[in-house]
Amino acid sequence: MGISLLVKNCSELITLAGKHPRKGVEMENIGIIKDGAVAILNEGIECAGKTDEVIKKVEITPKTKTIDATGKLVMPGFVDPHTHLVFAGTRETEFELRLKGLSYEEIAKRGGGIKNTVRATREASEQELLALAKIRLDRILEWGTTTVEIKSGYGLDFENEMKLLRVIHELNRIHPMEIASTFLGAHEVPEEQSKAEYINLIKGMIVEVSKMSLAEFCDVFCERGVFSYDESLEILKFAKGHKLGLKVHADELSTSGGSLLAGKLGAISADHLVYPSPEGLQLMKKRGVVAVLLPGTSLTLKSKNFAPARKLIDMEIPVALATDFNPGTCLIEGMVVIIGLGCLLLGMTPAETITSSTINAACAIGRGDRIGSIEKGKQADIIILNIPNYKHLSYRFTTNFVRYVIKKGKVVVSTE
């Protein structure tokens, strides 16, 4: 059978072959092939390698679409493993307050923060939220992200959390983007309930989410003033008992025990990690927990500290990057911008940020066996950028160089 799509003459082809997250010095090995090519059959990758070698291996027919990638970088589509993309309302006033010196916690005490977005999101209809989220996904796709994780967490009651999860489910059905759904009822405590009452409600929501298959993962904001270590442990153990994968908002604003919790429970990822404990990091390493770092959020919050990426990499903890796209603390849409911040703020190398935005990010949402690399048998999620090599991504990180986005073997974005 002839191949359906051939991408040839790539200036650089980044392959990142493998199904498991890369750690330590492995993160520098991104699998560069000069003058590379990728052959695609329907939704999957048939083979990848040097252009002349690939052409010899495959059958090219009149029906085969060919893209000449001369002078261009070809690589796996970006994977964004941490977003809060479904919401209503904006919080530009809080941005101004932070510029005047107020902290995230001070703004929250004034009724701002997550609760501000909750009020707007509760008032929005399901169709309104779907329309808003679709526009955001369209823009993110244009930046080369082909798979994204989306969390609930702006409902904070049964009706509205289910509404958000239904919107995420519908987005996954209608949009070219592939979506991993995460239940984050434990994002904040609603104004109308005590924490104990709300934790009981969260458990009831977990039962429903599991029964209806509305989410793959359960997350919790383990932080002072939100959910303590013990409360987070209680929620996540209950979620694990209902067959949900585990994620943790960990040690973002303080050493709150989030990294320790993620390591103890063997969560698939621990996210933020600005203030992780040594014990937590050792447990994360032992259990293979992926560290998802969010430099855009620390930048927006005017933090004096950033996640210790170099320490994590040196410890051989797998590191991924994500946007944390949300209305309050980071509205960055493109993973390319996060790649630049990974280098400038976290001290990562250009190659490490590529690994962190593709195969490691895929592993942070349980998809390393299907996406995140370019090799035979993987899903054909590929981007073609108008730059000659991968170093330009971090060097020129505020520009969108994407020319083609290929999702499951189909061209879904083309600017040429």
Evaluate whether 179 touches 148 at the Cβ level (below 8 Å): yes
User: Is 282 domain-assigned?
Assistant: yes
Return all residues near 15 (Cβ < 8 A) that are at least 6 apart.
Answer: 30, 31, 32, 33, 36, 48, 373, 374, 375
Is 55 in the same domain as 114?
Answer: no
Q: Where are the beta strands (DSSP E) in 223-289?
A: 245-250, 269-272
Q: What's the whole-model pTM score?
A: 0.97
pLDDT for 109: 80
CA atoms of 397 and 221, how far apart (whole Å): 30
Banded model confidence at residue 194, pLDDT cuts 50, 70, 90: very high
Please return the burial class of 40, using the count of CB atoms within 10 Å of its CB with bins 0-12, 13-18 and 19+. buried
CA atoms of 278 and 272, how far apart (whole Å): 15
Is 14 in the same domain as 126?
Answer: no
Is 69 in the same domain as 90?
Answer: no
| Per-residue model confidence as pLDDT tens digits over 337-355 | 999 999 999 999 999 999 9
User: Is 342 domain-assigned?
Assistant: yes
User: Is 11 domain-assigned?
Assistant: yes
Banded model confidence at residue 370, pLDDT cuts 50, 70, 90: very high
CATH number at residue 288: 3.20.20.140
CATH number at residue 16: 2.30.40.10
pLDDT for 28: 98
pLDDT for 416: 82
| Per-residue model confidence as pLDDT tens digits over 125-145 | 999 999 999 999 999 999 999
pLDDT for 116: 92
User: Is 320 domain-assigned?
Assistant: yes
Banded model confidence at residue 366, pLDDT cuts 50, 70, 90: very high
Is 34 in the same domain as 85?
Answer: no
Is 184 in the same domain as 157?
Answer: yes
Is 356 in the same domain as 406?
Answer: no
CA atoms of 79 and 392, how far apart (whole Å): 19
> Given 344, 363, 382, which residue is the final one in a domain?
363
Is 47 in the same domain as 36?
Answer: yes
pLDDT for 103: 85
| Per-residue model confidence as pLDDT tens digits over 246-282 | 999 999 999 999 999 999 999 999 999 999 999 999 9
Banded model confidence at residue 98, pLDDT cuts 50, 70, 90: confident
Banded model confidence at residue 58, pLDDT cuts 50, 70, 90: very high
Number of domains into which the chain is organized: 2
Mean pLDDT, rounded, of the chain: 97
User: Is 129 domain-assigned?
Assistant: yes
Domain that residue 353 falls in:
79-363
pLDDT for 382: 98
Is 204 in the same domain as 326?
Answer: yes
Is 161 in the same domain as 280?
Answer: yes
Is 284 in the same domain as 160?
Answer: yes
What does the block give as tokens for 278?
A: 């040594």
> Given 321, 343, 363, which residue is the final one in a domain?
363
User: Is 368 domain-assigned?
Assistant: no
Is 338 in the same domain as 388?
Answer: no
Is 203 in the same domain as 159?
Answer: yes
CA atoms of 84 and 187, how far apart (whole Å): 11
User: Is 194 domain-assigned?
Assistant: yes
Banded model confidence at residue 306, pLDDT cuts 50, 70, 90: very high
For residue 1, is pLDDT > 80? no
For residue 105, is pLDDT > 90? no
> Given 363, 382, 403, which residue is the final one in a domain?
363
User: Is 137 domain-assigned?
Assistant: yes
